[in-house]
Structure 1
Amino acid sequence: AAASAVAAEEVESGRAVAACREHHREMETKRVHVGDVAKQSEAEANRRFDASHAAVETAEAAVRAVAAEIVSIEEEISALDTECETKLAQAASARRLAVERLVGEEKEALRKE
């Protein structure tokens, strides 16, 4: 009976060891799976970060281009303002000379009369 009990215990112990080994294999498989999922998640996060970073760089470049265009337009406006001021001054001077000439002609005409 004692030998039978020892044999039964050995069988039970063998089953327990086999169950532990199976559980260990399952846990190892889960660990590998979790590691793979973590790597995939990290790769996706890195891809999204890179895409976001590229989008930010593109937006910054667009802002710089618009700023440069604004500066160019402001310089054009300034040049046009200067040109207009010059032309207005020339027109005022020509008008003044024309008025002076007309006044001179009128005075000359009055003297002749």
Structure 2
Amino acid sequence: WKCFLSGCWTHKNFELGEIAGEELRRLDPEDTAGYVLPFNLYTQAGKWEEAAEMMKLMNERMLKKELSCSWIREKGKIHRFIVGDKHHPQTHEIYEKLKEFD
């Protein structure tokens, strides 16, 4: 259901996305993806009340979204990047390189 829901977001299929979100929450009510992915879908559609409801449900169930991270291996060394983290020793160089893509 997660992949399907992500596809709904990509293709802006809000109706099927709502169904997928409901199924995901029914199958695993503690999986934050069942709230975060519909939240993203609702905000994309400008459905702010529905988006707020997803956050409300997460808060009521005391669920917290885990931080996103990426891992890469470079020259045999593994680097982990967490969204918003500035503690990597090469943070400045990394962000300068990313600016080249804009």
TM range (shorter): under 0.3
The alignment's TM-score, normalised by the length of structure 2, stands at 0.17
Structure ranking higher in strand proportion: 2
* Greater length-normalized contact order (CA 8 Å, ≥ 6 residues apart): 2
Structure ranking higher in helix proportion: 1
Rg (Cα) greater in structure: 1
